[in-house]
Amino acid sequence: MSMTTAVAVVTIGLLGACGTDDPDTGTEPDPTPSQTSDAPSAEPTDEAVGTPETAADLVGTWRAEEADWTVRFAADGTFVEDYEGVQDFRTGTYALEDGVVTIEGGDGNATEGTVEGSSLVFRLGTLERQ
């Protein structure tokens, strides 16, 4: 075998091994776009902060500071309101359908609000999750 043929065979052998993830070659391929991870964006999305989509998403304590109004939604579909320092001011049931929150007190009065991002906006005030 001539020197030129030997160099060609070695070169072809080396080139054939390039770009593989064979541990014997000591090299790894560059990651493809599907192998790289996308870092989360710095700006939170509505989903990241918990946009309520079902009644179960409301469970917990919500507060409107400007109105001194707190609503505690329970998993069983009931709520308890505190208003202007009066604990357990009103109780009743609640529902969330198509972005509209309805709270209906045991007194028969119903109040509707809308889901706007991660907030519940009512005429009385805007409730934020606590």
Q: Per-residue pLDDT tens for 1-47?
A: 544 444 444 444 444 444 545 455 555 555 544 444 444 333 333 33
H/E run at residue 70 = strand 69-73
CA atoms within 13 A on the CB side of 107: 9
Amino acid at 96: L
Letter string b/e over residues 41-50, b meaning 16 or more CB atoms within 10 A of that residue's CB:
eeeeeeeeee
Pull the structure tokens for residue 61. 């304590």
Instruction: Indicate the domain borders of the chain.
Output: 1-36, 49-129
CA distance 113 to 41: 30
Could you tell me the fold of the domain covering 49-129? Lipocalin (2.40.128)
Task: State residue 52's pLDDT score.
Answer: 93
Query: Which is more confidently placed, 16 or 119?
Result: 119
> What average pLDDT is seen over the chain?
77
Inter-CA distances, 78 with 42, 71, 75, Å: 36, 10, 7
pTM of the model: 0.62
CA distance 75 to 65: 23
DSSP track, 77-97: SEEEEEETTEEEEEEEEEEEE
CA atoms within 13 A on the CB side of 27: 10
pLDDT at position 60 over 80? yes
Compute the radius of gyration of the chain from its Cα atoms.
31
